[in-house]
Structure 1
Amino acid sequence: MDETYDVIVLGTGLTECILSGLFSAHGKKVLHLDRNSFYGGETASLNLTNLYKMFYPNVDPPAHLGANRDWNVDLVPKFTMANGKLVKIILHTETVANNLEWKCVDGSFVMQVSAGGFFSKAKAKVHKVPATDVEALKSDLMGLLEKRRCKKFFKFVQDYDPTKPATHKGMDLKRQPFRDLITAFGLEENTVDFICHAVALYTSDACIQAPCHEVMMKIRLYMDSIGLYGNSPFLYPVYGIGGIAEGFSRLSAIYGGTYMLNKNIDEILFNEDGKVVGIRSGEEIARAPVILCDPSYALSLGKVRPAGRVIRAICILNHDIPDTDHMPSGQVIIPQRQTGRRNDIFVSYVSSSHCVCAERYFIAICSTTVETDTPENELQPGFALLGEIMTSFVKVYDTYEPIEDGSRDNLFISRSYDATSHFETACEDVLSLYERIMGESLNLETTLKPFTQAS
């Protein structure tokens, strides 16, 4: 502790661990601290004992669930886009890439509520999001004529080139709202739900007013991710998300980074000019001209503001998810319009195929942005899809964002993890923080070579 560093990092969430690894690998002397006894912060993967300790402190895990070694339960339910920023950051760091094992997520699904007829009632049905042309033809997500319109739309998105006006359909795609493109292709409401929420992966219908270019780039990310490593756009690490944070922690340690868990931070120190100079833990002081932290370490300083609340419910099941073709892992998106909400509900589920739970069990996590004073009730559409739930662990998280960008006081604060189903927004935060702290953008076209000890 009683040393001077280039950067002090507080909290071992995924964002902080990625950055500490990158800082160390690019020549910075890093001290990384966490008040918890485990890596990962909100993105940790916990065994049964630690999971029950966090949610039910006086309750022991049931014996029938098996041994701790069989369980790695994520606190944040996010998958990784196969062609997304997180994969590119990991591939940039060859050491981390070589020490992580990944598997495709088996399927992605979207819920639609069919209108009731004279002889039938309205019914919620789960549909698989097509991953191939054959699946698209067989899918009952939309009728035959709508499939043709949708196919033309996806072909247009695939051929779109921002630098070639001939591919713009005579529109100003960087200015006009996505609603105009929907109208141009005559797409139905349910199709728009499917495109915006299950493909572009927006959490609300606000994207309809976003510029066409922005939405189309998110659709392209999904399309480019399918087939890259399998018939799914999503990847998930074997042994859980916490392994990614640990991988970057090891990267930092290899390059000389210093780690301390179970270390309370009593004070972030500033000089008379208002710039950070270090941190105090008890009687110990560590000094650095730059500090990076997650929002929880800056709450008392008035440096962050509320950004909403997210509810997550971890559910342990002894059966697979109904209507998902017995797939051992997947995601079900419930678009906001289907339930009369302002935000989507996400159901992410994994099983022993990813080595995160014992055989014959499933871990499903329902999550959404909180809209009312009864958050758990907001997840009922997700719970209804799961069938019988053995045990659940529910928590409402307050989310925060920094008030300033860190340039004034050299205290750089990450954003809380949002309700999206992937790590793209978190990685945008990583890249932004890296550029602000290092003074240059991270070049993801290069690869860091594995560390070798100088002779």
Structure 2
Amino acid sequence: MDEEFDVIVLGTGLTECILSGLLSVEGKKVLHIDKQDFYGGESASLNLSQVYSKFRPSGQKPELAGRDRDWCIDLIPKFLMSNGELTNILVHTDVTRYIEFKQIGGSYVYRNGRIAKVPANEMEAVRSSLMGIFEKRRMKGFLEFIAKYDEDDKSTHQGLDLDNNTMNEVYNYFRLENGTKDFIGHAMALWPNDDYLNEPAKPTYERIILYVQSVAKYGKSPYIYPLYGLGELPQGFARLSAIYGGTYMLGTPIDEILYDEKKNFAGVITKEGKAKAPIVIADPTYFPERVKKTGQKVIRAMCILDHPVANTSDLDSLQLIIPQNQVGRKHDIYVAVVSDVHCVVPKGYYLAIVSTIIETETPHVELEPAFKLLGSRVDTLMGIAELYEPQDDGTSSGIFISKSYDSTSHFESMTDDVKDLYFRVTGKPLVLKKRPSDQEEDDALNGL
């Protein structure tokens, strides 16, 4: 292969696969390479053998039911907001035709030593066990304000200016208790720490609206999740890219990266030959000298359970957030629980993935609050990941590098990275357009 392309993409993580799909749809000639022999990179779903060989290569493996492929264990625990940006990209590109989604059963928050369902609207706030009777009224007033707020109608502002008032000032206006601020900010607005309190309230308002609208879409929780695990997402975008002429090569290490005389990206050499392109999009592992550590590390624990999580009405799936304040930390602890209804474990098992930003020299101890809530575990596999980001925006060298996946249990920060990379690569913002219908696509393929 000695070919010219518009774009070369290295790594099949979700960020890379979305961009590869979007650029292929736009008529770009894309070559997509991964040194690993499976899709997904850091966002892959692995079968039982793959997971144990990665996290415990020489250790004991418990007796577990089911076949190897009955297990699809995500390397990162994330759900999709049903009204979030990633869902919008999936719908607009029609990748939803390749992937089936199931709703997550509930959204929970830890407070004062126990867990409770996060109220998603005024009615649930009134019934919530999280608050006393007077606080419920104040919370109801706050949610009504959020629902009715209209930027162009001052009569809905109650004298507040969300562009200038801090979120703390808004909370204090409604006289909300600290515990209530905790679950609104961390379990609804999904901020990972408390920095947002002293910043303008507008982004928090927008995040709460996204949460409430996502709940309203299907009911029980704002989250959806793909059957057979998150690894289905990169594969869906890879299929999209292939339909539009993208070329894929798995299990293909890069022998050499080519540069022109100005030290700009010019192509790659692999066992298949030389491929030239003026632009490369890559995950941080392909250009270690061009990324920097963010200073944060994530610990993730994959816990295999043989029982549902206590005090959650035996739900088949849920998200649980432990706000940092509640356990004397600087960062939240996230727990994502899925089960056999999502086709990721055999019947009778549950998979709970716990993650947080490491703050001490004994990171596994930092997950204890979550382990206590999960109860007995059949087995636990832990991994630690350093977080990386590119040193520059890539526009001068043609080398565009994605960020590592953070500890949050949703994809909103990842889709921000996708939109940012798309803008830097193409020079224009990502505007989602409708794809051709099945019939139009079939006609196009038959005409080839």
Same fold (TM over 0.5): yes
The answer on 1:437 being equivalent to 2:425 is yes
The SS at the match of 1:277 is strand
Within a 5 Å distance, the mapping from 1:12-411 to structure 2 comes to: 12-59=12-59, 61-94=61-94, 96-113=95-112, 124-131=113-120, 133-281=122-270, 284-299=273-288, 301-411=289-399
How large is the Cα RMSD of the aligned pairs? 1.6
5+ unaligned residues in a row in structure 2: which ranges? none
Check whether the contact 1:74–1:242 (CA below 8 A) recurs between aligned residues. yes
Cα deviation for residue 132 of structure 1 reads: 5.4
SS at match of 2:236: helix
Residue pair 2:24, 2:244 contacting (<8 A) in 1 also: yes
In structure 2, the residue corresponding to 1:126 is in which secondary structure? Answer: strand
Distance in 1 between residues matched to 2:292 and 2:383, nearest whole Å? 21
Secondary structure of the corresponding residue to residue 269 of structure 1: strand
What's the offset of the Cα at 1:454?
5.8
What's the offset of the Cα at 1:269? Answer: 2.1
Match of 1:120 in 2: none
Q: Give the C-alpha shift of residue 137 in structure 1.
A: 2.6
Give 1:54 deviation, angstroms. Answer: 0.9
In structure 2, give the amino acid aligned to 1:231: K
Does the Cα contact within 8 Å between 1:336 and 1:343 map onto a contact in 2?
yes
Contact 1:298 1:304 in 2 (8 A): no
Q: CA deviation at 1:325?
A: 1.1
Q: Output one character per residue of 1:127-186: Cα deviation in whole Å (capped at 9) or x when no partner.
A: 111245554332210011111111111111112223333332223311221111111111
What is the deviation of 1:321?
0.7
Corresponding letter in the other structure for 2:319:
Q
Which residue in 2 is equivalent to 1:116?
none
Residues 336 and 134 (structure 1), Cα distance of their counterparts in 2 relative to 1, 3 Å cut = same
Q: Deviations over 1:278-322 (max 9, x none)?
A: 1233583211000000111111x2343434111100010111111
- 3-state SS in 1 of match to 2:338: strand
CA distance in structure 2 between the partners assigned to 1:165 and 1:391 by the alignment: 55
Go from structure 1 to structure 2 and tell me whether the alpha carbon gap of 1:5 and 1:150 turns closer, same or farther (over 3 Å shift): same
In the alignment, structure 1 segments of 5+ residues that lack a partner are 114-123
1:131–1:231 contact (8 Å) kept in structure 2: no
What is the aligned residue count?
Answer: 443
Q: Deviations over 1:16-62 (max 9, x none)?
A: 01111111111011111111111001110111111111112235754
- Paired with 2:93 and 2:290, the residues of 1 have a C-alpha distance of 35
Aligned-pair CA distance for 1:237? 0.7
- 2:357 maps to a residue whose letter is T
> What secondary structure, in the 3-state scheme, does the structure 2 residue paired with 1:240 have?
coil
1:357/1:342 CA distance change after superposition, 3 Å: same
Deviates more, 1:10-19 or 1:154-163: 154-163
Letter aligned with residue 104 of structure 2:
V
Superposed CA deviations along residues 394-433 of structure 1, whole A, max 9, x for unmatched, are: 0110011112111111110111111111001101111111
Q: Determine if contact 1:112/1:127 at 8 Å carries over to the other structure.
A: yes
Which position in structure 1 is the counterpart of 2:445?
453
Superposition deviation, residue 344 in structure 1 = 0.4
Deviation at 1:250, TM superposition (A): 0.8
Q: Separation in 2 of the partners of 1:438 and 1:79?
A: 28
Helix, strand or coil at the partner of 1:227? helix
TM-score, L = length of structure 2: 0.95
2:37–2:251 Cα contact (<8 Å) kept? yes
Query: Which amino acid in 1 is paired with 2:350?
Result: F
Structure 1 residue 13 displacement after superposition: 0.5
The one-letter amino acid of 1:147's match is: K
Q: For residues 454 and 406 of structure 1, do their structure 2 counterparts lie closer, same or farther at Cα, with a shift above 3 Å needed?
A: farther
Structure 1 residues 443 and 302: CA distance shift in structure 2, 3 A: closer
Deviates further, 15-24 or 131-140: 131-140
Q: 2-side partners of 1:55 and 1:373: how far apart?
A: 20
Q: Amino acid of the residue matched to residue 373 of structure 2?
A: L
Q: 1:59 to 1:371 in 2, by over 3 A?
A: closer
CA 1:408–1:288: 2 relative to 1, 3 Å = same
Structure 1 residue 365 displacement after superposition: 0.5
Secondary structure at the aligned position of 1:316 is classed as strand
- Tell me if the contact between 1:278 and 1:287 (Cα under 8 Å) persists in the aligned partners: yes
Which piece of structure 1 moves more, 239-248 or 279-288? 279-288
Displacement, 1:449?
4.2
Shift of 1:8: 0.4
Q: Distance in 1 between matches of 2:290 and 2:413?
A: 24
